């Protein structure tokens, strides 16, 4: 064979096999099983819809593209089906009592597959559900599926800045090319919308909660409007994070800037009313505002002696003529050296229950501190019956090892959603608070801080795509299990080979506990100060005590942990008696939460039969060792995975392994100075000193 031909074949092989992760779970690779493919093919001879609209067009386009890939044939879209059978009918109809506004029903009718919904968006979600059904290799003979989203606003929060950086982003720069917008539309915006729509995500906040006023200028609103135009055919609304002091900073056409941003000042109220009107001129279906106020130095109503409710209600008043909402974040904590940060959001917000305008939703982080690898649920859930509370999860792995640690987050989300608040007796789960069923909230919301960026594979760590996927699926239906979601994602994204699917699903399901074990076991939290990446449990100097590591773990010669019982900060009083009683007693407090609530002596014997010190060491060591197990599992599935994708993950797992040992060594060497006990057998003493580990950390802290 001549050289040129060999080169040509190599290039073709590369093009055919190299998987750079761009297609996410919407891969639509050919179905290998021919009898299955034939069966699908017989039922997909044409596509026809009973109406036309941009959203319906998105649905037919996606079906065509998906079927072309999966079945290897071009399926025509007909203007009407007539009496034809053997096709896919898309039907917007009021005659669907079992589903809600955005739900869908898929059923066989006269040898056609009929996707019915009340709205165009419902049809789009049904089209994606049908494709998922085929991608995951399920039978279609007796097809009957019906599903409705449990939460109304299912959204991503991007912490993207106008300069193209992303706060806590680990997948490159921002997806939004602000300097090129509005004239140049990156085709990627559409693929972003497709991916979200495939999960049922229907809103996106395009900018950082630490908001720049720039986004509110006419110049930038045109750019945001261009994004909204791309997202609209996918049922996705655009929202903006707003800078509360914008009236002062920006002013308007006639004034260089107001003297104040006081929410009770009539001029300020008028400013927001005008601005909201202007936004709607650019984006008629604008979703609404997201606000971080009086939190971590951001301006807010308290700067003028007003409350969060005053601030939120002012924006709600401006939004009154429109459909949009005001999402007000509850992530607040004051720089009070004596206070327990755990209690802050509850203390500031529960007294305001009942004072918020009906257009306001308060967005609460899943835990009381800040997206830690494991937190108890925030005590705000259930305790603001008159105020719709939305939940905020973090998909970007700020505290979960950035882009080098494989952590599948569905178990973290589920742990919180399934937690029982007991506010209305047993079964009052956080999920029921959030989906509105517990208190009858009119607005319901689940938000995920996005992990996307300009990296070709979207999420930096290719396996982190599963977190975007899992969030979207749970926002749609929080009753899905972590396992079902992982299984779907693996089949759609990685492989349909059954043993590999099982192995990878198992790996995903264990990954979060493994991370917690070497990083923050048994209720330890926030062992970071500088970068939220390198271990720094010794960190004790910062402008505020609650920005040090020692504030959280409180290690001393007696023991370790934060006493939040009545003898300590009494944060436990914020929970219902059923929860409080279980957690307040160190004998009944679940071990994963123990050090969140108790200062436990090193020598205390635990239910595992080990002393606290021995148990902690066991977790640090087995956690780090388990990363080796993850590597082995990943090696086993190599034949079933695209080589490029496989190699990428293998490299990251090797880094994770090295870093997990670093975490283990940092913790045990540091804590040993307090516990003054040997590393228990069979574990071996780290072969470096605490000083060595600190030196390594210092490298990451250098500017
Ligand atoms: C913290 C992040 C910080 C965010 C903040 C927030 O470190 O960058 O601005 O949360 O949620 O986790 O506002």
For residue 268, give the H/E element and its range. Answer: helix 266-282
pLDDT score, position 338: 87
Residue range 23-49: mean pLDDT, rounded: 97
pLDDT digits (tens, 9 = 90+) for 407-466: 999 999 999 999 999 999 999 999 999 999 999 998 999 999 999 999 999 999 999 999
More confident residue, 337 or 250: 250
Compute the C-alpha angle 428/434/439, nearest 5°.
60
Task: Give nearest CA residue, ligand 1 atom 11.
Answer: 331
What sign has the CA pseudo-torsion 101, 106, 109, 114?
positive
pLDDT tens column, 60-80: 999 999 999 999 999 999 998
Instruction: Please state, rounded to an integer, the average pLDDT across all residues of the chain.
Output: 96
> How many Cβ atoms sit within 10 Å of the Cβ of residue 439?
17
Is 120 marked active-site? no
Q: pLDDT band at residue 2, thresholds of 50, 70 and 90? A: low
The verdict on the CB of residue 370 being under 6 Å from ligand 1 is: yes
Q: Looking at residue 374, what is its pLDDT? A: 98
Residue corresponding to tokens 């959203």: 55
φ, ψ of residue 106 to 5 degrees: the values are -125, 125
Ligand 1 pocket, residue 533 CB under 6 Å: no
Percentage of the chain modeled with pLDDT above 70:
97
Averaged pLDDT, 252-271: 90
| C-alpha span between 79 and 95 (Å, rounded) | 22
Looking from the CA of residue 394, the nearest atom of ligand 1 is 12
Cβ of 168 less than 6 Å from ligand 1 = yes
> How far is 312 from 328, CA to CA, in rounded Å?
7
- Residue 569 confidence class, pLDDT cut points 50, 70, 90: very high
Cα-to-centroid distance, 312 and ligand 1 (Å) = 20
How far apart (Å, rounded) are the C-alpha atoms in residues 582 and 597? 11
Contacts 24+ apart (CB under 8 A), 494-500: 494/640, 494/641, 494/642, 494/645, 495/637, 495/640, 495/641, 496/32, 496/136, 496/137, 497/640, 499/640, 500/636, 500/637, 500/639, 500/640, 500/641
- Give pLDDT tens digits for 73-120: 999 999 988 899 999 999 999 999 999 999 999 999 999 999 999 999
The pLDDT of residue 142 is above 90: no
For residue 100, count other CB atoms closer than 10 A to its CB: 15
For the segment 473-510, what is each residue's pLDDT rounded down to a tens digit?
999 999 999 999 999 999 999 999 999 999 999 999 99
Predicted confidence (pLDDT) at residue 8 exceeds the cutoff of 80: no
* Rounded CA separation 605/591 (Å): 12
The question of whether 409 is a catalytic residue gets the answer no
Select which of 285, 296, 336, 692 is catalytic.
Answer: 296
Token pair for 491? 């089949």
* H helices, E strands: number in the chain: 21, 16
pLDDT higher than threshold 70 for residue 12: no
Is the per-residue pLDDT at 528 higher than 90?
Answer: no
DSSP SS3 for 430: helix
Q: What pLDDT, on a 0 to 100 scale, did the predictor assign at position 336?
A: 84
Tokens of 12: 């073709």
Q: What is the pLDDT of residue 550?
A: 97
- pTM of the complete model: 0.97
pLDDT one-digit tens code per residue, 660-687? 999 999 999 999 999 999 999 999 999 9
Q: Look at residues 479, 425, 466 and name the one whose alpha carbon lies nearest to residue 151.
A: 479
Residue 329 CA to ligand 1 centre (angstroms): 11
Spatial distance between the Cα atoms of 486 and 467, rounded to a whole number of angstroms: 9
Instruction: Write down all domains in the chain, each with its CATH number in brackets.
Output: 23-147 (3.30.379.10), 153-493 (3.20.20.80), 516-562+599-701 (3.90.1330.10)
Query: Is 398 annotated as catalytic?
Result: yes
Cα within 13 Å of Cα(514), Cβ side: 25
Selecting among 398, 517, 615, 665, the annotated active-site residue is 398
- Report how far residue 491's alpha carbon sits from residue 463's, in angstroms, rounded to the nearest whole number: 13
User: Mean pLDDT over residues 534-562, rounded?
Assistant: 95
């Amino acid at each position: 064979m001549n050289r040129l031909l060999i080169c040509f074949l190599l290039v073709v092989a590369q093009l055919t096999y190299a998987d750079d992760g761009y297609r996410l779970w919407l891969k639509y690779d050919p179905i290998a099983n021919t009898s299955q493919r034939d069966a699908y093919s017989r039922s997909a001879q044409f596509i026809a819809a009973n109406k036309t609209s941009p959203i319906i067009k998105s649905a037919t386009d996606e079906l065509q593209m998906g079927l072309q890939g999966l079945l290897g044939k071009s399926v025509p879209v007909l203007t009407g089906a007539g009496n034809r059978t053997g096709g896919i009918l898309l039907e917007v109809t009021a005659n669907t009592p079992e589903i809600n506004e955005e739900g869908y029903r898929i059923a066989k009718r006269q040898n056609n597959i009929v996707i019915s919904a009340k709205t165009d968006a419902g049809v789009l979600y049904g089209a994606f559900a049908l494709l998922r059904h085929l991608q995951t290799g399920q039978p279609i003979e007796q097809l009957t599926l019906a599903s409705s989203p449990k939460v109304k606003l299912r959204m991503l929060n991007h912490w993207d800045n106008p300069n193209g950086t992303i706060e806590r982003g680990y997948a490159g720069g921002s997806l939004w090319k602000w300097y090129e917008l509005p004239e140049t539309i990156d085709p990627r915006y559409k693929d972003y919308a497709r991916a979200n729509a495939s999960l049922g995500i229907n809103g996106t906040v395009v900018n950082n909660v630490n908001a720049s006023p720039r986004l509110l200028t006419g110049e930038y609103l045109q750019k945001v409007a261009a994004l909204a135009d791309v997202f609209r055919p996918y049922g996705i609304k655009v929202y903006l994070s707003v800078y509360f002091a914008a009236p002062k900073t920006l002013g308007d056409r006639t004034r260089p800037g107001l003297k104040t941003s006081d929410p009770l000042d009539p001029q300020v109220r008028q400013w927001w009313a005008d601005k909201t009107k202007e936004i709607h001129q650019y984006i008629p279906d604008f979703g609404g505002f997201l606000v971080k106020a009086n939190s971590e130095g951001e301006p807010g109503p308290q700067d003028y002696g007003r409350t969060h409710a005053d601030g939120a209600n002012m924006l709600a008043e401006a939004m009154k003529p429109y459909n949009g909402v005001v999402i007000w974040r509850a992530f607040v904590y004051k720089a009070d050296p004596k206070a327990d940060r755990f209690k802050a959001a509850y203390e500031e917000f529960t007294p305001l229950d009942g004072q918020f305008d009906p257009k306001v939703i308060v967005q609460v982080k899943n835990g009381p501190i800040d997206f830690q690898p494991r937190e108890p649920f925030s005590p705000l859930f259930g305790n603001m019956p008159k105020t719709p509370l939305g939940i905020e999860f973090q998909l970007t792995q700020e505290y979960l090892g950035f882009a080098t640690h494989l952590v599948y987050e569905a178990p973290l989300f589920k742990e919180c959603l399934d937690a029982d608040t007991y506010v209305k007796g047993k079964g009052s789960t956080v999920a029921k608070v959030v989906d509105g069923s517990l208190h009858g909230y009119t607005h319901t919301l689940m938000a995920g801080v996005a992990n996307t960026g300009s990296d070709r594979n979207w999420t930096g760590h290719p396996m982190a795509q599963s977190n975007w996927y899992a969030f979207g699926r749970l926002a749609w239906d929080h009753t899905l299990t972590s396992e079902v979601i992982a299984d779907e994602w693996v089949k759609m994204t990685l492989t349909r080979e059954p043993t590999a699917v099982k192995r990878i699903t198992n790996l995903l399901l264990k990954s979060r506990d493994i991370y917690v074990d070497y990083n923050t076991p048994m209720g330890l939290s926030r062992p970071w100060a500088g970068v939220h990446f390198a271990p720094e449990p010794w960190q004790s100097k910062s402008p505020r005590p609650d920005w040090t590591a020692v504030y959280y773990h409180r290690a001393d010669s007696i023991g370790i942990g934060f006493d939040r019982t009545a003898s300590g900060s009494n944060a436990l009083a914020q929970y219902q008696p059923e929860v409080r009683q279980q957690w307040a007693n160190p004998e009944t407090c679940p071990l994963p939460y123990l050090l969140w609530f108790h200062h436990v002596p090193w020598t205390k014997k635990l239910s595992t039969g080990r002393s606290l010190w021995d148990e902690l060491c066991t977790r640090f060591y087995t956690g780090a060792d388990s990363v080796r197990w993850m590597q082995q599992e990943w090696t086993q599935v190599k034949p079933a995975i695209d080589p490029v994708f496989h190699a990428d993950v293998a490299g990251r797992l090797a880094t994770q392994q090295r870093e997990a040992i670093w975490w283990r060594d940092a913790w045990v060497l540091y804590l040993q100075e307090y516990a003054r006990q040997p590393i228990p057998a069979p574990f071996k003493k780290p072969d470096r000193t605490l000083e060595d580990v600190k030196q390594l950390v210092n490298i990451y802290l250098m500017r």
